Structure 1
Amino acid sequence: MNDGVLLIGSGGHASVLLDMLIEQKINILGYISPLPAINQKLFSDFHWFKSDENILQFDKTVVKLVNGIGSLPGNTLRADFYNKYKDLGYSFATLVSEEACVSRYATLEEGVQVMRGAIIQTGTSVGYNSIVNTGSIVDHDCTIGSNNHIAPGVTISGQVTSKENVHFGTGSSIIQSINVNENVVVGGGALSLKT
């Protein structure tokens, strides 16, 4: 098979990723979902594989997976999928919207997705399989853990550290130098002032 990506999922998050992949002219080998695409017009030009097991027909040395499974508080499906296919030797594409602003001195680990309008400043690192969603801001020198979801409109000030599996709810704000423990949900619109 030719080098390219397989999109996992066909819901809302996968739709946004597919739009970004098309815009960046990335070779899309198809999408994998047990259910029909929500946005059938967007997905209509791509091959639909109906089972995760279809992934195994692709050479893991040339295909990359794009994790289009959305992230919700308390739901581990996205992380479970990532871990399963990493253990099988597959790689995940890191995807950054052309309309995001990411410092060349920031570090994005494997499978990170940075959506339109997001800003990631210098000295920040974002752990594997994390989402920095639409219009969110991660300021300087932050350490964002793996499997984090920074929902739309979140503001994270400088030198914030988050552990694994943190969900920053839509519109929440974290002031500088806060430490956020693993598996924490920061509620939508919340203001976090202390560790």
Structure 2
Amino acid sequence: MNKPVILIGNGGHAKVLTSILLQQNRLIIGFTAPEFQENPFNIPYLGTDEIIGSYNSGDIELVLCIGSVSVPTLRSKIFEQFKEKCYTFSSVIHQSAIITTYSTLGEGVQIMAGSVIEPFVKIADNTIINTSSSINHGCKIGKHCHIAPGTTLSGNVTVGEVTHIGAGSTVIQNVQIGNHVLIGAGSLVLQSINDKRKAFGVPAKEM
């Protein structure tokens, strides 16, 4: 039985996740943010993230509603802070996503509308597979990554942790992308990218 959820964040990514949760009839207690904000779904504001400590970790689940347009360091930090306090993050998967047999999804994974996850894919904790992305056979994606809308990972691509692959990018087969990497939107990645690098363009070049 699904537990009630608290949303962390109230931005654009939160709107998408809230819509999915409401379609799935999940009970949303409220959301946290650094200060009071209006919510278009009339979800109540609970306070800052510290208010979550007043809820028993066994009674609720958290949904991390913070996306990224760069290396998702903040998303990683918040997830790990609450895991240290024994809270659990709910995965959010849109009903139109296709997840084929023999794939493995970690805790708190978010898979948006129209995405396709092919066989023997491994997606680690707290990673976003955003709208209409294609993750092909044998890909391995580390923790705290954001695969932005319309991205294609061809077969056997490896992505490290805390990495952002920008919207509309394509990564060809067998490429390895490191940790804390930023791939610019619309890039074509033909070669492996080392840790802590930025790469942009068609074909993508390290900056």
The aligned counterpart of 1:28 is: 28
CA contact under 8 A between 2:130 and 2:149: conserved in structure 1?
yes
The aligned counterpart of 1:41 is: 40
One-letter amino acid matched to 1:3? K
How far did 1:89 drift? 0.7
The aligned counterpart of 1:16 is: 16
Structure 2 residue 69 is matched with structure 1 residue 67? no
Give runs of aligned pairs for residues 26-175 of structure 1, distance below 5 A.
Answer: 26-37=26-37, 40-42=39-41, 44=42, 46-175=43-172
One-letter amino acid matched to 2:40? K
C-alpha deviations, 1:45-64, integer Å up to 9, x for none?
A: x2211211110111101211
Q: Secondary structure at the match of 1:7?
A: strand
Per the normalisation by structure 2, the TM-score is: 0.88
One-letter amino acid matched to 1:149? H
CA contact under 8 A between 1:64 and 1:91: conserved in structure 2?
yes
Q: Secondary structure at the match of 1:6?
A: strand
C-alpha deviations, 1:46-95, integer Å up to 9, x for none?
A: 22112111101111012110000112313521111001000111010111
Task: Check 1:105–1:75 CA distance in 2 against 1; reply closer, same or farther (3 A cut).
Answer: closer
One-letter amino acid matched to 2:189? S
CA contact under 8 A between 1:11 and 1:37: conserved in structure 2?
no
CA distance in 2, matches of 1:55, 1:117: 32
Per the normalisation by structure 1, the TM-score is: 0.93
C-alpha deviations, 1:98-156, integer Å up to 9, x for none?
A: 01111132111001100011111110010111000001110011000111100000000
- For structure 1, list consecutive stretches of 5 or more residues without a partner in the other structure: none
How far did 1:194 drift? 1.5
Count of matched residue pairs: 191
CA distance in 2, matches of 1:152, 1:134: 5
How far did 1:185 drift? 1.0
Task: Check 1:175–1:87 CA distance in 2 against 1; reply closer, same or farther (3 A cut).
Answer: same
Q: Secondary structure at the match of 1:86?
A: helix
How far did 1:41 drift? 2.7
- For structure 2, list consecutive stretches of 5 or more residues without a partner in the other structure: 193-207
The aligned counterpart of 2:200 is: none
The aligned counterpart of 2:182 is: 185
Identity, % of aligned pairs?
38
How far did 1:37 drift? 4.3
Q: Secondary structure at the match of 1:20?
A: helix
The 4+ residue runs of structure 1 with deviation greater than 2 A are 34-38
